Structure 1
Amino acid sequence: MSSGEEVSSVSKRTLSCSTCFDALWFCYSPVHQMQQYYRLGTLDNCGGKWSALVDCLTLKTKRSAEVQEILESREKAKAHIWTFRTPEEASSNWKEQFGHLDEME
């Protein structure tokens, strides 16, 4: 497999609604509901899981190229898990959050 074929196979995403269905099924389980009640004090209405399943099923009706474009645009729109700071920004943020610990000594 050449590097060009590797890139195209990595960029191709498969869309499986079974994970959305499994997440919805688990959402209605007593285990999940009791965890939510213990943690948040309310039961989960599973609305987000329903939306994800309906969205997945809707994407299944579209052409493959269109689905790839939609998935790529969604991935680009997601916020990155890490925020990168310059050393000055990191230093000022550190002092803001933990500067009071230096004053205790």
Structure 2
Amino acid sequence: MSSENEASSSSPPGQRLSCTPCFDALWFCYSPVHQMQQYYRIGVLDNCSEKWNDLFDCLKLKTKRSTEAQEILETRKKATPHIWTFRTPEEASSNWKEIFGHLDDME
């Protein structure tokens, strides 16, 4: 949904929702460049199911009234968590020890 949300949130209200970015992302997902990147990074080819879901969601939103679609998009945007999670120093310390504590044992 990220490409759909970006496309719709950047457009002014009253403008029609475009599914072109979702379709372009799906098209690129099946490209040899993307598939080889995924295979190199993860070890498996991408089945592009997330891109298909984004395209279907966008097409479903286009069947709704523009005010209703705008409300749905705003609700989704508010529901997505922020990219950064803030921790207290104690939480950060315990998380660091949990992830990298085994390195202290090597010394």
Counterpart of 2:72, as a letter, is I
Are 2:59 and 1:71 equivalent residues in the alignment? no
Match for residue 4 of structure 1?
none
Alignment of 1:59-98 (within 5 A): 59-90=61-92, 93=95
Per-residue deviation at 1:18? 0.5
- 8 Å contact kept, 1:13–1:68: no
Give me the TM-score of the superposition, normalised by structure 2. 0.70
Per-residue deviation at 1:16? 1.7
Q: Indicate the structure whose relative CO is greater, using CA pairs within 8 Å and at least 6 residues apart.
A: 2
RMSD between aligned residues:
2.9
Separation of aligned partners in 2, 1:26 and 1:43: 13
- 8 Å contact kept, 1:36–1:44: yes
Rg comparison, structure with higher value: 1
Corresponding residue pairs, total: 96
Alignment of 1:1-105 (within 5 A): 12=13, 15-90=17-92, 93=95
Per-residue deviation at 1:27? 0.6
Go from structure 1 to structure 2 and tell me whether the alpha carbon gap of 1:13 and 1:33 turns closer, same or farther (over 3 Å shift).
farther
Write out per-residue CA displacement over residues 3-59 of structure 1, whole angstroms, 9 at most, x where no aligned residue.
xxxxxx987385221000000000111111111111111111111111100110110
